[in-house]
Structure formats: structure tokens, C-alpha cells
Structure 1
Amino acid sequence: MTTTIQVRTNQATKKTAQLILEKLGLDLSTAINIYLVQIIEKQGIPFEVVTENGMTPAEEKKILKEIVWAKRHGKRYASAKALHDAILKE
């Protein structure tokens, strides 16, 4: 038994995807079905979802937490020379 899924996307995205899929010998419906099967098999998105800086949302969240911690608890230096001297002492 089949069912219908309606997806909203802009016309340029649809057209470009169709052109690429045509070169692969696939239509849009088949490609979407492949994607859905992969979601089921992987139990999630079948590729890594990253933010615009190339990190996963979890990696980005971890780094942001580290930045907040460093701002609250990190050492501060009056100058680059003071930082350099502190590094050399360690």
C-alpha cells in the first residue's frame, strides 16, 4: 500500500534536484523513498547535519559551553606578553 507525502520547497531547489537525479537515473519520488528508507535503517538522518561552521549542533553546543566556562573561570592577562610569560612558566 502506498501513501502520498506533500513537501514544500522552492522551485529552483526542486528543478536542480530533478536534473541531478535524472543524471543518476532516478526520479524525485524514488530519491525521496531512498532517503526515507535510509532514515529507518540509520534510525536518524542518514548524513551528518552540521552548522554553517562545519560542526554538528552537539559539537557547537559543547564549544559554546566551554567558552562560557572560560569567560567565568579562565585566567585573564593584561597583555600578550603576560600571557606568553605565564605559558613559559608552565
Structure 2
Amino acid sequence: MKHLGASLQTRVHSWIENVGFRLNRTDVDKKRDTTTRHYFFETFNFIEKQNNKTPDKARFLAFDTYGEKLKVRSLLDLQSAFYENLSQLK
């Protein structure tokens, strides 16, 4: 199961680099030993929350400008939400 978490993070990072997402902000909480990164592309945003002790267990949460949230469990979840958001812009 540990392999799947690392694989998800790797696939997500590869995909966001190919699409052209930008890192908007990085916050480090030293008390909880977590790093939170906020990425965006036009009107679509998502957050990556990572415990620094177990970086392979990063969690992702996607949201758009309309306030809809989606807990990302796979790369397909993130891609579907992203392309649905883009299709609403037309």
C-alpha cells in the first residue's frame, strides 16, 4: 500500500508539470511537521498536504473558483475535475 501512495504523488507531479500548473504558495507547519503546497492553473486549484516524516503519503484536495471540492484519491480524479472545470469555462 505504501507503494501506491508514492506512485500517486509521482504521477500527480509529473502530470502537473506537463500541463503547466504553477506553484502558488508553500506553507510549512513546524509544529505538525507538514508542508502544504498550493498549485493553480487558470481557475483550477489544488492543494498538496504532506507530512515531512512520511512524504510518500501526500494528500491532495482539488477545488475550483465555484467552491466545489474534491478529495483526490487517484490521478484520474484530479484529471477529471480539471478537464470538467476547463469545459465549464467555454
TM bracket, shorter-chain basis: under 0.3
Higher percent of residues as helix: 1
Calculate the TM-score normalised by the size of structure 1. 0.24
Larger Rg: 1
Larger RCO (CA within 8 A; separation ≥ 6): 2
